[in-house]
Amino acid sequence: MAEGRLQWHPAFSAAFHIELNDELENLYIEEEHMLSKKPLQIDMLIIKKDKEKAVRKNIGRIFREHNIVEYKEPDDYLSLNDFYKVYGYTCLYQSDTEKVGEIDPGEITITFVCNHYPRKVIKHIGTARKIRCERQEPGIYYLIGDMFPMQILVTKELPKKENYWLQSLRNNLKAGAEIQELLMRYERKKHKAYYPELMDLIVRANWELIKEEKKMCEALRELFADELKESEEKGMESGLKQGLQNGLELAKNILKLFKAGVSPEEIAQECGVSVEQVREMVE
């Protein structure tokens, strides 16, 4: 699972589709839009079908008719060269038409998506281009003062409540509650479009942790079958999460004692479970 270079862009595309799911009727999204016959391409082009209809989703409120998106992988940084490359591509996109002025420059926006706040870029464009950076809300920064409306989305800062899947597109998920929540959320969405591609990349990027958590989760579901069944029947999602979290802490304590050389019999007595359950978890 961990071999080879991870292909982040397809998963990013899936995450962006998920984030804009409620707006897709009004958006045409084209992957790797070719700017010309030469090998120049932008990561994503989003065109509003009805340019007068506003996008409600937080990451798309800045959108106008034509919207260019540049995505940087979690370990990559948005550099000054990246900024000017995408800016240049935007100018090429505007000019690569059959008719002069066919695309109004005022109807083009640029979105930079990255995992790290690009301080050097912000400092440069502020000094050299008089473009100021304004934080609109967590993870969303507008660049004010240019012909093209621009924004920077810092994925790790985006609110989990509104942008769960986009902010989960990274390789440093935390063991325990965060991965358990990811697995539970995916279980409810796995049959919907885009989720499998996105989850496949997230799993590959965090394989070692997820492998252990999934194994532990399956053992916990057997260990706490009655409690989980009661929570699910009552529709108590918070109770389900709490049950898994409590079980995860118990499992971690069991594994810790076992690694310290404590016998299964002693562990069972201390943790209040059967010897068979201890052995099932540690073997």
Which whole number is the average pLDDT over 241-260?
65
Whether residue 23 is predicted with pLDDT greater than 90 in this model: the reply is yes
Count Cβ atoms below 10 Å from residue 8 Cβ, excluding itself.
21
The closest of 196, 176, 177, 178 to 186, measured between CA atoms, is 196
Contacts (Cβ under 8 Å, ≥6 apart) of 237: 231
Which whole number is the average pLDDT over 55-69?
97
pLDDT at 266: 81
Given the DSSP bridges, would you call strands 27-31 and 132-137 parallel, antiparallel or unpaired?
unpaired
pLDDT at 228: 46
Whether residue 226 is predicted with pLDDT greater than 60 in this model: the reply is no
Whether residue 272 is predicted with pLDDT greater than 80 in this model: the reply is no
Domain ranges of the chain: 8-163, 171-282
pTM higher than 0.75:
no
d(CA 38, CA 21): 32
pLDDT at 129: 95
pLDDT at 190: 87
pLDDT digits (tens, 9 = 90+) for 90-136: 999 999 888 998 999 999 999 999 999 999 999 999 999 999 999 99
Whether residue 275 is predicted with pLDDT greater than 70 in this model: the reply is yes
pLDDT at 59: 97
d(CA 201, CA 178): 16
151 confidence band (pLDDT: 50, 70, 90) = very high
pLDDT digits (tens, 9 = 90+) for 152-205: 999 999 999 999 999 999 999 988 888 888 988 988 898 999 999 999 899 889
Which whole number is the average pLDDT over 64-69?
97
Whether residue 65 is predicted with pLDDT greater than 90 in this model: the reply is yes
Q: What percent of the chain has pLDDT over 90?
A: 56
Which whole number is the average pLDDT over 35-46?
83
Whether residue 67 is predicted with pLDDT greater than 80 in this model: the reply is yes
Name the more confident of 20 and 217: 20
pLDDT at 244: 52
240 confidence band (pLDDT: 50, 70, 90) = very low
Question: Residue holding tokens 């304004």?
Answer: 134
**DSSP code at position 259:** H
DSSP 171-229: S-PPTTHHHHHHHHHHHHHTTSTTHHHHHHHHHHHTHHHHHHHHHHHHHHHHHTHHHHH
Whether residue 236 is predicted with pLDDT greater than 50 in this model: the reply is no
pLDDT at 209: 83
pLDDT at 33: 85
pLDDT at 183: 85
